[in-house]
Amino acid sequence: MTTGIPHHPPARRAPDSYTTHDLLAPPDIPAHVELIDGCLLSQGRQTAFHSLVIDLLRVGLCRTVPPGLTARCRMTVVIDKRNAPEPDLVIVQAAAARSRDQPSFHARDVLLAVEVVLPQSQALDRDTKPRKYADAGIPHFWRVENDGPGRYPVVHVFGLDPATRTYHPVGTFREQLELDAPFGISIDLTEIDRL
């Protein structure tokens, strides 16, 4: 479960009253904090699996990402005034990556959001955040699960139905991730053993 962030807000501030300005402006908010429905949430501790999967997917995507797009890890995505999650990995329009100092991207510039599920963030990664990404119009979403000790990551791939702003399943991938959208992708998921 994610936890609230120790922060020194003005006295008697409602816990669900934070905005994207609050998240991105002050220097006293720690790294890897998300804004969900006006609440500041810590992502908690990551596991070795979580870190390795992010590295594996980032390297794999960087091998095939076409010009005009770029891959970024753990960057805030501003959806609206009360929602700014931090996916584990995103593919964004390269033009949106304006500066090495920028702390966030707008949802309109995100083509793919990836969440690697942690035990403490299952509800957020499986339900809340995908709904937020779909509502924001992010065309592609991947949810990555740990299939058990010593097993390879399982990648659940979803595509956006623009009419309903909901995701529909595209496929579930073990050992090899092969996709044509959002661009040609081929990632050997067993390479996690070599990282």
Of the candidates 83, 56, 88, the one whose C-alpha atom is nearest the C-alpha of residue 190 is 56
Instruction: Round to whole Å and give the CA distance between 160 and 165.
Output: 6
Of the candidates 91, 88, 80, the one whose C-alpha atom is nearest the C-alpha of residue 136 is 80
> Which phi-psi region, left, alpha or beta, contains residue 107 (left: φ > 0; alpha: ψ -120 to 50)?
alpha
Please say if the pLDDT value at position 26 is more than 70: no
Q: What is the mean pLDDT of residues 153-168?
A: 98
Cis peptide before 149 (omega within 30 of 0): no
Of the candidates 32, 50, 54, the one whose C-alpha atom is nearest the C-alpha of residue 41 is 32
Q: Residues 118-138: pLDDT tens digits?
A: 988 999 999 999 999 999 999
Please say if the pLDDT value at position 141 is more than 90: yes
pLDDT at 25: 67
pLDDT at 124: 95
Number of helices (H) and strands (E) in the chain: give both, helices first. 4, 13
Please say if the pLDDT value at position 173 is more than 90: yes
Amino acid in the structure at residue 40: L
* pTM of this structure: 0.88
Domains of the chain and any CATH numbers: 3-42 (no CATH), 48-194 (3.90.1570.10)
Residue with tokens 């339900």: 127
pLDDT at 13: 55
